[in-house]
Structure 1
Amino acid sequence: METIKNIEIYELGSPEEKSSPWSSTILILKLTSSDGRVGFGEAPTTMMTLPVKESMNEVARVFQGKNYFDIEKNLRDYYRNAFYVAKSVEETAALSAFEIASWDLIGKNLGSPIYNLLGGRFNEKIRGYANGWYSDCVSPEDFVSKAKSLVSRGYSAFKFDPFGSNYDKITVDGVKKAQEIVAQMRSSLGEGVDLLIECHGRFSPKYAIMAGKALEEYNPLFIEEPIHPELERFLPEFRARVDIPVALGERLLNKEDFARYISDGMVDVIQPDLTNSKGILEAKKIGAIAESFGISVAYHNAFGPVQTAATLNVDYTLPNFLIQESFEESWPSWKKNLFTGYSVENCTMALSGKPGLGIEVNEKLLENSKVSGMEPLGTEPPWVVSGTFKP
């Protein structure tokens, strides 16, 4: 029987970088099996580094010595011992890391990439969109200039947050500035480029509708988290009044959450995060639920290279795949070089086809990038792109 023999948890980062999920700390899990294979997983941080890390130690107590093929059983064994897992992102994030690493071991054991074990390739090409690219952008000209530099490298889809420091409410001037940014992006880049509007769940319903209606004419591919996440009951009203598809999902933790949002008419595009919603198999199940309602999938992917590789393995298999988030252009060098095995070129993302996740670690960089403690905190919220939370 192939079991999990050794469990190592790495907190990695660069101490001088301010807190942000795409440039500061990440948590990498390394499982070594009784047959000598190594599998990698990843858990998100975002102001949760130490709580998630400690939760990974708790999950390790359940997974230690278990057969890594028994993914459903091992997840359920943890679930029955836990009590708050349905609402605890620390626990689901930790579980996700172990689930992903288990799949990596399974694929390597069988000599197959994970996507072949999930139904094989449905999508030959995975179209990516750029995020994190607009640091220090405030004026419309700032946004357009940086976007054009990525267009020259093949990108044709951009997500960005044009709302400055407006939070909860948005002023008339705030609406005007956001409209000017999106208008210039559209006129300068043309109709062949997709614009994805990020709200970061920052608005109360009235102001979300105000902001959304101002951007309709620029034909965004979707608008993400327009309303505070705890006010989800207002999403059907937003969808009825604003003619832009609504996307969300990075804060939802399981397939049951997604089933409720989808069946209650709250969303047009779902964005599960494999590193906080219980991993690869749950992501595949969530995708199937969405498919049965005619809903597209665009997985959230804002953390590190193991997350990207795991996500791409599922992307390949989904008939209802829409587009894939990529922060790779905005990563610091240590994160870019930590793993090899997938590529992001000309707005297309691709795996190596090697067994498991399809990636290989730089062991020296893994050891040299260790940090401890919480991620550094800057003057802006860690969920915004640096230099953009300004009036």
Structure 2
Amino acid sequence: MKITKLELFKVPPRWLFLRIETDEGLAGWGEPIVENRADTVAAAVKEIGDYLIGKDPMRIEDHFQVLYRSGFYRGGPILTSAISGIDQALWDIKGKYYNAPIYDLLGGACRDKMRVYAWIGGDRPSNIAEQARQRKEAGFTALKMNATEDLNYIDSFVKIEAAVERMAAAREAVGMDFGIALDFHGRVHKAMAKVLAKELEPFRPMFIEEPVLPENNEALKDLKAHTTIPIATGERMYTRWGFKQVLTEGTVDIIQPDLSHAGGILEGRKIAAMAEAFDVAVAPHCPLGPMCLAASLQLDFCTPNAIIQEQSIGIHYNQQVELLDYVANPEVFDFKDGFVQRPSLPGLGIEIDEEKVRQAAKTGHDYKSPIWRYEDGAYAER
């Protein structure tokens, strides 16, 4: 079997899909995307994808080694996201070839269902209590929201109090036996992160996510000494080498590799195994589309230290188009009592509605993140 064709589809709301075709009629789907940089990643896929034409799609490890190492300059969000989408599509082909889910090819299932959480609040969190109640009524047992709006290096305690009030409202709405994760989103600098974590601690968050920017991960050691809240990070860290520091230094409790950014399914499995050796949990990052979610679930079901899965249905980024719009078997993503059942179909376990994808690609998107500024006009992390 040989790879004959790679096709890219830029589809709303902000995604990039990849289809890899073979000469035996099998095709696989992947999701190589960096939010805000779809065209750049598409160029990277085209550039490195030429190598794959005529190659055996089953040699996934070897393809990763060549695509990652042969360019001399390695890593980073663009190159590893391109590789990630390719990896997902190759695993989809391999699973279909062997008529098996990907988790079966990676050691087999270690659980029957996977806990999932929903998003509330948006980028500038609002209507928290009502949205939290809605998620609980929908059957979820956990949610995540942005902890705060932008915070300057040293900022007003009024903003801290507003964040605490939102967390209090959410906790009151859903009760104590409900997971509430707080995403600092890298928009909080280390001095304010310590203040915010201390004030939020009485409300028992499930975890705080990316409390500082990944380029400032050395600050996690100081933060960890100031709070008992579990610390999570990893959505902007790439390959197993990107996770070495936080694991060896013992500064995180949960890692969050994104399988459309970190290197793909196989690389995600290696990262998760590294984390298991340090008694660290895994909660794959996934505010993206159907292939990334399907890939994440395949990892979850063969990863003993996976604890909860992010998913983007209903997330504030999805304007007019939802993840399920591109899936011919949406029942695969049925969430019941806060869990999703183990998928049984081969490969990624989803059937992509190819016609809808092709039609949506005619519209495409030009997603751009908003620019935030502090009161004095300086750029603000978001």
Taking structure 1 as the reference length, the TM-score comes to 0.89
For 2:133, which of 142, 148, 153 is the aligned residue? 148
> 1:39 corresponds to which residue?
28
How far off its partner does 1:366 sit?
0.9
Q: Is it true that 1:195 corresponds to 2:185 in the alignment?
A: no
Deviation track 1:88-123 (CA, whole Å, cap 9, x = no partner) reads: 211100001111100000011111111111111101
Letter in 2 for 1:92: T
Note if contact 1:351-1:358 (Cα within 8 Å) is conserved in structure 2: no
- Distance across 1 between alignment mates of 2:32 and 2:341: 22
Secondary structure at 2:31 match in 1? strand
How far off its partner does 1:179 sit?
0.7
Q: How many residues align?
A: 367
Structure 2: runs of 5+ lacking an equivalent: 373-379
> 1:344 corresponds to which residue?
334
> 2:161 corresponds to which residue?
176
- Distance across 1 between alignment mates of 2:322 and 2:232: 31
Letter in 2 for 1:134: G
> 1:124 corresponds to which residue?
112
Distance change >3 Å, CA 366–CA 251, structure 1 → 2: same
Secondary structure at 2:134 match in 1? helix
- Distance across 2 between alignment mates of 1:97 and 1:165: 31
For 1:219, which of 193, 204, 223 is the aligned residue? 204
Note if contact 1:222-1:246 (Cα within 8 Å) is conserved in structure 2: yes
- Distance across 2 between alignment mates of 1:339 and 1:59: 27
Q: What is the CA RMSD across the aligned residues, in angstroms?
A: 1.8
> 2:375 corresponds to which residue?
none
How far off its partner does 1:251 sit?
0.5
Note if contact 1:62-1:77 (Cα within 8 Å) is conserved in structure 2: no
How far off its partner does 1:6 sit?
1.2
For 2:72, which of 76, 83, 90 is the aligned residue? 83
Q: Which consecutive segments of 4 or more residues in structure 1 shift more than 4 A? A: 136-139, 371-374, 378-381
How far off its partner does 1:262 sit?
0.6
Deviation track 1:60-100 (CA, whole Å, cap 9, x = no partner) reads: 112121111111111111233213222x2111000011111
Letter in 1 for 2:24: D
Structure 1: runs of 5+ lacking an equivalent: 14-23, 382-388
Q: Is it true that 1:261 corresponds to 2:246 in the alignment?
A: yes
Note if contact 1:62-1:74 (Cα within 8 Å) is conserved in structure 2: no
Note if contact 1:305-1:336 (Cα within 8 Å) is conserved in structure 2: yes
For 2:121, which of 123, 134, 140 is the aligned residue? 134
How far off its partner does 1:135 sit?
3.4
Note if contact 2:114-2:340 (Cα within 8 Å) is conserved in structure 1: yes
How do residues 279-318 of structure 1 correspond to structure 2 at under 5 angstroms?
A: 279-318=264-303
Q: Is it true that 1:357 corresponds to 2:356 in the alignment?
A: no
Distance change >3 Å, CA 63–CA 169, structure 1 → 2: farther
> 1:55 corresponds to which residue?
44
- Distance across 2 between alignment mates of 1:343 and 1:334: 12
Letter in 1 for 2:11: L
Letter in 1 for 2:178: V
- Distance across 2 between alignment mates of 1:344 and 1:199: 28
Distance change >3 Å, CA 211–CA 350, structure 1 → 2: same
Secondary structure at 1:328 match in 2? coil
Letter in 1 for 2:228: D
- Distance across 1 between alignment mates of 2:370 and 2:273: 41
Letter in 2 for 1:93: S
- Distance across 1 between alignment mates of 2:368 and 2:239: 29
> 1:5 corresponds to which residue?
4
- Distance across 2 between alignment mates of 1:336 and 1:154: 18
Secondary structure at 2:45 match in 1? helix
Deviation track 1:191-210 (CA, whole Å, cap 9, x = no partner) reads: 11111010001122111101
How do residues 157-172 of structure 1 correspond to structure 2 at under 5 angstroms?
A: 157-172=142-157
- Of 237-246 and 331-340, deviating more is 331-340
Letter in 1 for 2:350: I
Secondary structure at 1:340 match in 2? coil
Q: Is it true that 1:102 corresponds to 2:93 in the alignment?
A: no
Distance change >3 Å, CA 136–CA 267, structure 1 → 2: closer
Deviation track 1:231-271 (CA, whole Å, cap 9, x = no partner) reads: 11111110011221110000110111112211112211000
Distance change >3 Å, CA 202–CA 183, structure 1 → 2: same
> 1:386 corresponds to which residue?
none
> 2:193 corresponds to which residue?
208
Note if contact 2:30-2:88 (Cα within 8 Å) is conserved in structure 1: yes
> 1:16 corresponds to which residue?
none
- Distance across 1 between alignment mates of 2:226 and 2:187: 18
> 1:18 corresponds to which residue?
none
